[in-house]
Amino acid sequence: MGDNQSEFLRFMGHRSFARRLTLSTLTGRPIHISKIRSTSPTNPGLAPHDVSFLRLLEAVTNGSSMQISYTGTTITYHPGLITGTIPGQGAAEGDIIEHQLPTNITRGITYFLMPLCLLAPFAKAHMNIRFSGPGVITSATETGDVSIDTFRTAILPLFGLFGIPPARIELRVLQRSCAGPGGKGGGGIVEMRFASQVRLPKTLHLNRSPGRIKRIRGVAYSTGVSASNNGRMIHSAREVLNAFSTDIHIAAQYDQAPLVSTGDKAGSKRRLGIGYGLSLVAESNATGVIYSADVVVPPGGGEVPEEIGKRCAYQLLETISKGGCVTQSSASSILILMAMGSEDVGRVRIGRDVLGTEDMVDLARDLRTFGASSWGLRDVESDDSGDIIISVKGTGVGNVGRKIA
């Protein structure tokens, strides 16, 4: 491929950085991103989580190349083939890739898992990765990432709608961790084994009524603090939710805080990632409709468990009230898989407030830039919900690494 600059798709800024790299890898289109935090007086250029994500992409692809400018504010990326975990190619320990996250990361582990799960169905082999190191945060974060519990119960099941069986996706949390001081680092350990590779994602038709909520599930987690915090969060959440549903079950999960090396010469360690939080998921009687909410105590503390439980319950009710069949946290993954699917028109029903966000507008523009067709939008006429139906025509990108069965 020549060095002709016009071959690159050009973007500016650090927003949607991981998503643009993911789309580039899926479609095979090289990209050039400039002005990455160029106005920041203290930390211009790529943040630690951006660099770590680039290393992860390098590990799960073959032939990817990237050039980063001296200041880190500009990057060009040539995508390679999505190989997954092939022994001998980056897989350090037999069949699993070890990926270490450094201490100064402020994003949750789902920041890395979300794009990985979009790449994994199109990989040549299984995608097996273990995240460890002092930067792994499994809880929700103040930077907007959902917790590992919400990811497992509210986002992974949606892959089944595309013919990617969730039963073949295994997510193990070997060590939990909340964000450390200043929101940085954690020390958790998470393993993902993704064995669902497909030729093409199925066309999705999720344009019916979202139905009624039939049950609410959740996980209250405490790391390195008294296990009684779990009971207090569950109790205050139930006080709000009992009026709406009788089928509520919230599990309690207690872990010791992880021991993380302080990096001094004496080799001393400290407990990091102390905190507590709550993840709630509401399932509708319509297949594939799941709403979620996530609240975690701030890294500096200062909020009692009762407050966290109540806030999470109200957040769940607010998410349900926005309507549609997909939520803010799962919408972009669903729309990207629809765009990558077979060349047929899929439809999804989405709430006006979910669609009308800056993130969704950015996604529509990005998909268009990468060659996907524009979305068709129309109002739902069968009721007065105000929801919108998005029609997405698949581009038939499919899995080039797999033989057609």
Question: Domain 209-322 belongs to what architecture?
Answer: 2-Layer Sandwich (3.30)
Which residues on adjacent β-strands are paired with residue 10? 32
Alpha carbon distance 372, 242 (integer Å): 44
- The CATH number given to 1-81 is 3.30.110
Q: Is 290 exposed, middle or buried (0-12, 13-18, 19+ CB in 10 A)?
A: buried
- Which pLDDT belongs to residue 88? 52
Does residue 94 carry a pLDDT above 90? no
DSSP secondary structure letters along 129-167: EEEESTT---S--TTSPPPHHHIIIIIGGGGGGGT--GG
pLDDT tens figures, 219-271: 999 998 999 999 999 999 999 999 999 999 999 999 988 887 776 677 677 78
Write down the pTM of the prediction.
0.92
DSSP secondary structure letters along 7-56: GSEEEESSTTHHHHHHHHHHHT--EEEE-TTTT-SSS-S--HHHHHHHHH
Alpha carbon distance 236, 309 (integer Å): 5
CA distances from 337 to 201, 348, 362 (A): 7, 12, 16
Q: H or E element: which one contains 117?
A: helix 110-119
Does residue 319 carry a pLDDT above 50? yes
Q: Residue 167 phi/psi, 5° resolution? A: -65, -20
Question: Of the ranges 29-43, 143-157, 355-369, 387-401, which one carries the lowest mean pLDDT score?
Answer: 387-401
Alpha carbon distance 100, 102 (integer Å): 7
Residue 205: CB partners within 8 Å, gap ≥ 6?
346, 347
Does residue 402 carry a pLDDT above 60? no
User: Which residue has 């709608």 as its token pair?
Assistant: 161
pLDDT tens figures, 324-334: 999 999 999 99
What tokens does 380 get? Answer: 């739902």
What tokens does 269 get? Answer: 């360690």
The average pLDDT across 38-49 equals 90
Q: Are 85 and 97 in contact (CB under 8 A)?
A: yes
Q: Is 43 exposed, middle or buried (0-12, 13-18, 19+ CB in 10 A)?
A: exposed
Q: Are 238 and 248 in contact (CB under 8 A)?
A: yes
**If we measure between CA atoms, which residue out of 326, 119, 116 comes closest to residue 205?**
326
Does residue 293 carry a pLDDT above 50? yes
Q: Residue 310 phi/psi, 5° resolution? A: -65, -45
Residue percentage of the chain with pLDDT more than 90: 67
The average pLDDT across 191-206 equals 90
Q: What angle do CA 53, 57, 59 make, to 5 degrees?
A: 115
